Amino acid sequence: MIYLDNSATTQPYPEVMDTYRTVSEYYFANPSSLHSLGGKSEHLLTRSREQAAALLEIEPNEIVFTSGGTEGNNLAIKGAAFAYRNRGRHLITTTIEHASAGNAFAQLEALGFEVTYLPVNSDGRVSFDEFIKAYRKDTILVSIMHVNNEVGTIQPIEQIGNFLKQKPKTVFHVDNVQGFSKVPLHLKESGIDLCTVSGHKIHGPKGTGILYVRKGTQLSPLFAGGGQEHQFRSGTENLPGICGMVKALRMTLENEREGIDHLMKLQQQLFDGLAKIEGAVVHTPKHFSSPHIVNVSFLGIKSEVLVHILEKNDIYVSTKSACSSKESGASGTLTAMGISDQEAEQAIRISMAYETTESDLGVFLQTLTEKVGQLKTVMR
């Protein structure tokens, strides 16, 4: 099997699953229980929080464990908007956010908030100048993803964050689900107040995530309940998932430098190979892009057809974002970049992990070249 859909989800590390099973079996008690078994679970939860904080170079009380990227984005966006609505009702985001962010802003608009959606250029990147023009005195929240989940474009997070450091009444949220461990981003230095990370994108268990909440930042909780996670996220903690995710976090960050270098070589291998295939149009920019994603259209060939043909050869890629892949119509990200609906409907996303090999890509490119050629012959 050649798995090239890592932006949708990654295969959990075996060590992560070992941790998940062990914690499930021996630390099953509720961390909030007063008895000794509960105390052991609470101790393990505290230790996991401290380990995650050390890895991210933040404070333990700045970590909120969540169920993943969707919950993290909703808690950050809605929670900040509701908490600071007395300061103003203007919000800024982009036209190419993940559905979990974009739909959250649509809901806030329906409740009376005003949202400015920053456009992107042909590379899928927002303009810092356009952001400055959009910023207002009553802007209470800016939310921009670090790395686009479909084409891999990196946004000017540090530049925007440095500007917002001088605007203490504005909260800055970054969706870092795709960029984490692929494009380095220091939370403190970048002026970020809220940051979303998902466990299953870094070889951890599904249903796990972290929301970084900078000390002093307020959020209105989405869930009413027992007040777990510093009152921000009520509900009994998923201790096996949290421990597994923290192990995945450590293992991933230990290999980050070598992993990114490896991904950069793989991405160049893809760029070179795709350039030799007739009708291939690459949408991922060669500059300002994460090294693990390449988005490409094959003119005249529907993306779904190509995905299923590759699957028959035990090769797995995707079309658009996994959360939107079953929806009909062209990718909103690609059309926002100025790509026609027809061409956007012919795009596939190739996404790699540290474990992807040059041999994997060699077989993939050879198979892809053959299948695209066969399809074009049939269609002539």
Question: In the chain, how many domains are there?
Answer: 2
Query: Any catalytic annotation for residue 323?
Result: yes
For 22-49, how does the pLDDT look when each residue is reduced to its tens digit (9 = 90+)?
999 999 999 999 999 999 999 999 999 9
Candidates 249, 274, 236; CA nearest to 362 is 274
Beta-carbon contacts of residue 105 (< 8 Å; ≥ 6 apart): 77, 91, 93, 97, 113, 115, 117, 143
The confidence score (pLDDT) of residue 330 equals: 85
Task: Note the pLDDT of residue 327.
Answer: 58
For residues 224 and 341, membership in a common domain is answered with no
Could you tell me which of 252, 191, 182 has the C-alpha nearest to residue 12?
252
pLDDT for res 320: 72
DSSP 330-379: --HHHHHTT--HHHHTTEEEEE--TT--HHHHHHHHHHHHHHHHHHHHHH
Pair 231, 349 in one domain = no
Radius of gyration, CA atoms only, the chain: 21
Quick one: pLDDT at residue 377? 75
CATH number for position 369: 3.90.1150.10
- Whether the CB-CB separation of 371 and 309 falls below 8 Å is answered with yes
> DSSP readout, 226-264?
S-TTTTTS-S---HHHHHHHHHHHHHHHHTHHHHHHHHH
Within this chain, do residues 238 and 260 fall inside the same structural domain, yes or no? no
Q: Are residues 246 and 267 in the same domain?
A: no
Q: Which of 254, 278, 296 is the last residue of a domain?
A: 254
Same domain, 77 and 94: yes
Please indicate, yes or no, whether residues 68 and 190 belong to a single structural domain of this protein. Answer: yes
Mind listing the pLDDT tens digit for each residue in 324-342? 545 557 899 999 999 999 9
Are residues 242 and 296 located together in one domain of the fold?
no
Q: Are residues 241 and 366 in the same domain?
A: no
What is the pLDDT, as a whole number, of residue 376?
76
Mean pLDDT of 182-201: 97
* The domain boundary residue, chosen from 204, 221, 254: 254
Contacts of 292 (CB under 8 A, 6+ apart): 6, 7, 152, 182, 263, 267, 351, 352, 353
Rounded to two decimals, the pTM is: 0.95
How many angstroms separate the CA atoms of 372 and 186, rounded?
41
Least Cα distance to 146 among 113, 204, 194 occurs for: 194
Over residues 221-233, the pLDDT tens digits come to 999 999 999 999 9
**CA 55 – CA 345 distance, rounded (Å):** 40
Question: Annotated catalytic residue: which of 37, 55, 264, 323?
Answer: 323
* Region 105-121 average pLDDT: 98
Judge if 322 and 211 occupy the same domain: no
Both 260 and 249 in one domain: the answer is no
Q: What band does 317 get if pLDDT is binned at 50, 70 and 90?
A: very high
Q: What is the CATH number of the domain that holds 189?
A: 3.40.640.10
pLDDT tens digits, 139-185: 999 999 999 999 999 999 999 999 999 999 999 999 999 999 999 99
Point out the domain boundary residue: 238, 254, 270: 254
Q: Are residue 160 and residue 268 in the same domain, yes or no? A: no
Angstrom distance (rounded) from CA 261 to CA 182: 10
User: Domain span at residue 285?
Assistant: 2-9+256-379
Over residues 263-301, the pLDDT tens digits come to 999 999 999 999 999 999 999 999 999 999 999 999 999
* 93 bridge partner residues: 117
- Arithmetic mean of pLDDT over the chain: 96
Paired tokens of 344? 């956007």
Q: Are residues 129 and 78 in the same domain?
A: yes
What pLDDT does residue 378 have?
A: 66
* Confidence at 375, pLDDT banded by 50, 70, 90: confident
**Residue 319: helix, strand or coil by DSSP?**
coil
